[in-house]
Amino acid sequence: MPCPTEECHFQKKRQDVCTVASCHVIVKGGDYRPEQVAGGDCKSKAGGEVKILPFVEGQSTTAIVTKAKGL
């Protein structure tokens, strides 16, 4: 998988993912299954991909953002 060139952030609303044309790949951690990813079905139908990365205990986007914010 090539390195991403941009990010899309969502507030867990399926329609957000479905209306963002610039996102070609939705990536989630290994604690998800593809059918659980918000908007994954419509992104796949539009020719995009849903990728599930291996789960790493103690590593999450939330933890990284919290650490970056110094919280």
Residue 1 CB: number of other CB atoms within 10 A?
A: 8
Structure confidence at residue 60 (pLDDT): 78
Residue pLDDT, tens place only, 11-60: 655 555 565 556 788 888 888 888 888 888 888 888 888 899 888 887 87
What are the φ and ψ backbone dihedral angles of 52, each rounded to 5 degrees?
-110, 120
User: pTM for the full model?
Assistant: 0.57
